[in-house]
Structure 1
Amino acid sequence: MQSGLQSNQKLSKKPSSGFQVWWRLMRPHTLTASFVPVILGTVLALLETSIHIGLFLTMLLACLLIQAATNMINEYFDYKRGLDTADSVGIGGTIVRDGIKPKVILNLAFSFFGIAALLGVYICMNSSWWLALVGTICMSVGYLYTGGPLPISSTPFGELAAGFFMGMIIILISFFIQTSTVTTTSILISIPIMILVGAINMSNNIRDLDGDKKNGRRTLPILLGRTKAIKFFAGLLFISYMWIIVLAFIGIASFWTLLVFISVPKAIKAVTGFIGKSEPIQMMPAMKATAQTNTIFGFLLSIGIFIGYFF
Structure 2
Amino acid sequence: MSLLKKANALVQAKAVVTSLMPCLLGILFAASYYHSFQLANSLMITISVVAFHLAVNAHNQYKDYEHFKGQDSHNNILKNFAITPRQARTVIVGLALFSMIIGLILVDRTGQPVLWFGIVSFAAGYFYSGGPYPISKTPFGELISGLTMGYNITYLATYVNMYQLIDVRGMWYKTLVVAIPAIFTISNIMLANNIADRHEDPSLGRKTIVYYWGKKGGVLLWQVSFVMAYIGILAAVILGYLPTATLLVMLTIPIVWRNTQRFSRHPKKETTFLYSIINAQIILVTTVVVGGLALIF
Specify if TM > 0.5. yes
- State how far apart, in whole Å, the 2-side matches of 1:71 and 1:266 are: 28
Q: Does 1:53 align with 2:42?
A: no
Matches within 5 A, 1:52-131: 52-82=38-68, 85-88=71-74, 91=75, 93=77, 95-131=78-114
C-alpha separation between the residues in 1 aligned to 2:18 and 2:157?
14
Provide closer, same or farther for how the CA distance between residues 220 and 255 of structure 1 changes in structure 2, counting only shifts above 3 A: same
Gaps in structure 2 of 5+ consecutive residues: none
CA offset digits 1:114-135 (Å, max 9, x no partner): 0001111221121013422321
Distance (whole Å) between structure 2 residues aligned to residue 83 and residue 240 of structure 1: 38
Q: Distance in 1 between matches of 2:258 and 2:276?
A: 8
Give unpaired runs (5+ residues) of structure 1: 1-15
Q: Corresponding residue for 1:248?
A: 237
Does residue 306 of structure 1 match 2:292? yes
Q: Indicate the RMSD between aligned Cα atoms, in angstroms.
A: 2.2
Matched residues in 1 for 2:185 and 2:267: separation?
22
Amino acid at match of 2:250: F
TM-score by length of 2: 0.89
CA distance in 2, matches of 1:65, 1:26: 10
Of 43, 48, 61 in structure 1, the residue corresponding to residue 28 of structure 2 is: 43
For residue 209 of structure 1, what is the amino acid of its counterpart? R
Decide whether the 8 Å contact of 2:151 with 2:175 is kept in 1: no
More helix per residue = 2
Residues 78, 84 of structure 1: 8 Å contact kept: no
Once the two structures are superposed, residues 132-172 of structure 1 have per-residue CA deviations (whole angstroms, 9 ceiling, x without a partner) of: 23212211211110010000000000001110011111001
What pairs up with 1:1-311 in 2 under 5 angstroms?
18-47=3-32, 48-82=34-68, 85-88=71-74, 91=75, 93=77, 95-180=78-163, 181=168, 182=171, 184-249=173-238, 251-277=240-266, 279-281=268-270, 284-285=271-272, 287-309=273-295
Q: Which amino acid aligns with 1:228?
A: G
Aligned-pair distance for 1:214? Answer: 2.2
Structure 2 Cα separation of the partners of residues 118 and 201 of structure 1 = 28
Contact 2:107/2:115 (CA < 8 Å) preserved in 1? yes
Compared with structure 1, are the counterparts of its residues 210 and 298 closer, same or farther at alpha carbon in structure 2 (3 Å cutoff)? Answer: same
1:85 CA drift (Å): 4.4
Three-state SS of the structure 2 residue aligned to 1:99 is: coil
Change over 3 Å in CA distance of 1:221–1:270 after alignment to 2: farther
SS of 1:148's partner is coil
Distance 1:104 1:84 in 2: 18
In 1: Cα distance, 2:241 partner to 2:94 partner: 41
Q: Which amino acid aligns with 1:303?
A: V
Counterpart CA distance in 2 for 1:147 and 1:71 is 12
% identity of equivalent residues? 21
The 1:78–1:152 alpha-carbon spacing in structure 2 relative to 1, beyond 3 Å, is same
Distance in 1, Cα, partners of 2:27 & 2:243: 16
Distance of 2:24 and 2:268 partners within structure 1: 35
**CA pair 250-19 structure 1, distance change in 2 beyond 3 A:** closer
Q: Distance in 2 between matches of 1:34 and 1:112?
A: 15
Q: Could you tell which deviates more after superposition, 72-81 or 16-25?
A: 16-25
Q: Give the TM-score normalised by the residue count of structure 1.
A: 0.86
Alignment partners' CA distance in 1, 2:220 and 2:70: 28
Which range moved further: 59-68 or 176-185? 176-185
